[in-house]
Structure 1
Amino acid sequence: MIFCQGSIRTGRRRQYFRALLPVLSVLFTLSGCISSFSGRFADNLSYVILNNNDLETVKTGGPAYLLMTDSLLRDDPDNDALLRAAASLYTAYTDVYVEDPDRARKLTDKGLNYAFRAVCSRCSDACALRQDEFKQFEHQIREMDADDVPALYTLGTAWAGWIQAHREDWNAIAEIARVEVLMQQVIRLDETYRDGSAHLYLGILNTLLPPALGGKPEEGRQHFERVLTLSGGRNLMVKVTFARQYARLVFDRALHDRLLQEVLAADPDVEGYALVNALARKQAKALLESADEYF
């Protein structure tokens, strides 16, 4: 993949990489990860987070969840389920609520570290993934099987979040290709995992740039349409991301407005997606309000 050159304005570049981590696709991973913590309590915590449509309430309670994962991992540092949960929590909370760049870098550093440890705990041969040359990295990922999908997906989302927080560093941006390899492998092994959210990431990666700069918008559209099918339209952020990433990139105003109007017309209180959908509606309204200026 070819990434934007210095001639692209900083503001536009930030817009591209801001979209790397649609909160939603990370947040709705929590229903699987958190439930590994400690039985019934963790299941209830997961349910409450995902079904709370008040973003401020979750913001206030978020730091407590982060500290809880840290404390649990102190007693059980090699538990891959706990490590995946911690990585997802740190990544999601940072993307939704943390605006300070220095703090975002610190939190995503921690989240990515947890994600790498989760992969390493499952496969000792994968403990050096971060240092491997790209071809060796790709080979190692291709050797993993269906049982590794949760760890692969978590690493991909945490890595994308880390890149977003370190977007001023071109060495970090160059690692996007590794995220792409991870998500492609998730799809090969189980494309329905997390309601097809690996397709959402690949849709974003293919629509970061216009075709002239290496983007592949039509491939991106196929991924967005596929995740819409796999998720049954329950995750409203998919349509918001489709509109922002693809419709705006190719200047398709009709598609852009239709997708966002469908988000605003939909019932957001879907079990497992209430929090995600609350944020989607907020973003959909803002995109529609700025559409005349954009198009």
Structure 2
Amino acid sequence: MIMKKTILDTLKQTTKKQPIVAGTVLALVLITGGFFLTQPSAKTASTSKVEQTSSSSSVDKEATLLKKAEAAVKLLEDNQVKENISAAETAVKALKAGDTKDKLTKRVEAVKTAFAKKEAEAKLAKEAEDAVVALEKDQVNEKVASAQTAVDKIANKDTKDKLQQRINSVKSVLDAQAQQAIAQAKAEEEARAVQAAAEAQAQQAVAQEQAPAQPAYEAPTQTGGEAPAPAQDYTPPAPAAPQEPQQKLTQEQVQQQVNDAEANFNNGTYDY
């Protein structure tokens, strides 16, 4: 009897506590459900915050790259050397595609074109300088033409004018030498003509001196009343034997004979 009562009391107590337990369980379920229901919102907010941070970091990086590229292009425009071209190209290529990148690329290309033109002009100027120096060292007409061709290719007026003046100076020297050579050749030709005339005159004078004198013909005198004597045949002397060819006279011998001939003429001495 006592045991049966205890069981009944226990059941009664349990029945009284069930509403409390049920309430507790329901509260736990609601709390747990609320927790899981609020998790997606928290997760979305966290993801959005990460994306905003990443986007902000990307913008900051692009701004830094743009600033670096603009500085490199400006430096290139101020100092147009090969090293700055390479640095500017590298900085611009790091940018994202867009109008800003296109504009900076055009500025770099403009400098590259001007730099290439400048390098080509410097090369032509050096070639012309070398050609003019070679002409000045060896002043011949053949090198005048090559130097002139090289100078004509130069676009810079000041450089071209200076090199042209140096070519003109060499040409003046060559022209003077040519005129001097012509005058010398003419003088030598005239001297040879005078010498030939003097030799011919001297030889003629010698020939006249060596020719035998011919006797003068005298007509017979006539006497009054006498018949004239019969005319006698006149036989001219036989021609002289041909002389051996004379050796060529020296200039002093020719001049001496000319002087002798002039002296005989002035003294009235004639050979017949």
Return the index of the structure with the highest Cα Rg: 2
TM more than 0.5: no
TM-score tier after normalising by the smaller chain length: under 0.3
> Looking at both structures, which has the greater relative contact order when contacts are Cα pairs under 8 Å and sequence separation is at least 6?
1
TM-score with structure 2 length normalisation? Answer: 0.20
